[in-house]
Structure 1
Amino acid sequence: MRFFWRLLSAAAAIASGPLVGASANAAELSNNVVRLGILTDMSGGYTDISGPGAAEAARMAVEEFGGRVLGAPIEVVVADHQNKADIGLAKAREWFDVGGVDAIFEMMASSVAIAVFELTKEKRKIAIASGAASSVLTGKNCSPYGIHWTYDTYALASGAARAIAAQPGGDTWFFVTVDYSFGHSLEADTARFVTNAGGKVIGSVRHPFPTADFSSFLLQAQASKAKVVALANGGADMVNSVRQAHEFGIIEGGQKLAALLPHLTDIHTIGLSVAKNIILTEGFYWDRTEETRAWSRRFFERRKAMPTMVQAGVYSSVLHYLKAVKAAGTDDPKPVMDKMRETPVQDMFAQGGKIRADGRMVHDMYVMQVKSPQESKYPWDYYKLVSTIPGDEAFRPLAETECPLLK
């Protein structure tokens, strides 16, 4: 009889083993699901740059990862912040408080990202910005739970501004700047590189967001006689200002046009006959390597457009986050952030990328020049590589950061 009870106890222990393991595993997840929020512009001037394409890139990362992590399903939810900080903040708060969202990605507008980064300090939840550009996200507005992934205004300036300022006739600048945090930061970072190169900023004008008619702003730039007219804006504003600069004959009149943040889809919209020879800085280009081409062609099958660096950055950041959740054995933000920082970013977007203490993901950036129609050999063949900027040179040195986390 004793032998029978020992056998029965052993069988019960064996049977209970997997159940205990599954329960413990589920207990490591906050709600038995890993839910990712894509907060972006789904209907405004940045829709082609980010929008549905960013959501699709996130889904591609989830599918590649297998759709589950730590035995739980991975879900993607999407919201349109309409490029308004109050709407974006309200949605982020709702997601964190009642929506069961573990991490928020993308954000596009710098004003939205700044607001969400502040919220992460209160909620102790993770936010990873891709399209938002302002370098203050790893400066005075940094967060212990915030990561700035794809690019920033410092990196944009370090590439294109230095390249243009080094050319003959690149020493005097006038800025046409969108009037919110992204434009202010882009102008300030670019101006710093111009003056460090021995150039001079002789004026600037700010335009509201969004703007359809740039005539008064471009006339001021033309009248300034600056050798370089710099467009510190993006999305539809950038497209409109480049087109209208062409109509006003700014380049034909002898001034250079520096579009500081054109994306691949913007060049596609403008057309090579107008956009040719623009120098720009990119964090990702679809046609750069075999790996980028393979991923981008899969993206194209879904979206019928090649990906922007913002959309590629969303894919990369989501994939890295999921790897960290798996490695940490939990979706608890603190150990996940630790794993993300200690693990190099290795994918088609970045090779050996690293996340610094201020939240900056450091990776190589690329100075590109837009091809002429004659140089382009196939659809979306828009850029030629001018130079590669190593990550440690592309982004603001950690020693110069204003991030309070380092003080």
Structure 2
Amino acid sequence: MAANAVVSELSSSEMKQILGRDQILINPSWLQVKKALTAAQTRIRINRLPEQAVKKALKQVVDGDEELVTLGVVQCPKKYFYDLNSTVFQAIRITEDLVGVFISRLSAPPGQSTKPPLRHTSDRPTRWCNEVIDTFWTQLTEEQMDEIRQLRTLSALPRSVASMEILLGFTRPRFVSEVTVALRDLAEKLQQHDRDGMSWAELKKFDQTMTARFPQVLLSLAEGNRITIQSLLEYCDANQLFGLAYRRWEGSSRIFDAPQLVINVQSPEIVRSTLKQLPQNTKRLLEGVAAHHPTELDTIGWLRIHFDQTNRVIFIDEVQSDFLEQIRPFQQEGRDADYRRVAMAATAAAEPWARHGVATCLQWAREMNFRLGFHTWDSAGRTHHMTPSARKWTTYYGKLIKRFNFQPIAVPGYPEKIHILE
């Protein structure tokens, strides 16, 4: 059975070229692993792996004693003038039903150690998912890869939510831009008024807010001066600049003492191109901040989410952009003109990130029949270790609450009223 659509289109010679000497196995028997080990070590004399050690390591993963076992990593001495090769074996528990095995000869440059393809376990869900799919994609079905991606999300979400796996069986947070959500809302509004479309002139009277915010998008959807429900629903973002990554947060400043999901809105294109043009210590400072915050280097900003199953609320506990905070000083008067230009361009390109983040959360909440929640000034002030920040409120919270039309409501269990959006 073909592993997936891409693999099914590859010839045997192309597959052989992709895999090289790598032996990639899914749910193998010991005899299959033994055969792969023999193939990897044919005519090899140094840094071989003994069969018994490999058999023992495989059993640890199959029996559930270990999630990931690695054998054969070596350190190449600095004095060497050549790479040091070794046989590397890795076995990983991917899902309850899948065990993956990787066997190959890998090289360690002088002064470095071998770098096997699997280096993270599921406690770092995004990196774990990427490594597993990058390593085993040739042997996985589309359904299995979808399950792995789903597990990545589940690992980032609070374990205390007993029904989360059931919920995510039909939905998961995925990137949706502000304009996409707005167009869907407009389509629903037209349906409620029994209209399948309108001219631009009619639409400007029908929804002044939408036509003022997104005139170029709406006009681009017009056919014969008519914007239809179908064209609104079929809209998709062109040249999508942003994506998502997920983290888990159990640190300070949580509204409730429960683990939180962190949705990172990422744009490697913006972040990396900007950092290349700014002083080198800017990247080091950003990496230092990332070590203490639930973020990664390619992240524009992040939203910390409390999953409130009792009240069926996806609650946004914090909105923050370490990237924009780090480049903000470069925009001040008197700074180097080139740095100022780069920082201002990056800020303009990244500016919609928070709106897209809220739109993503809103769409996710609606798919699960939840409501979306946001702090009020008073509820933020009652959160442990969180002090109301006037600048953060002006930059993010106040603007987002007004733009999406959140309404303050008393919700059971919350210290003060919170903003709610249906």
Say whether the fold is shared (TM-score over 0.5).
no
* TM-score normalized with structure 1 length: 0.24
* TM-score normalized with structure 2 length: 0.23
- Higher-Rg member (1/2): 2
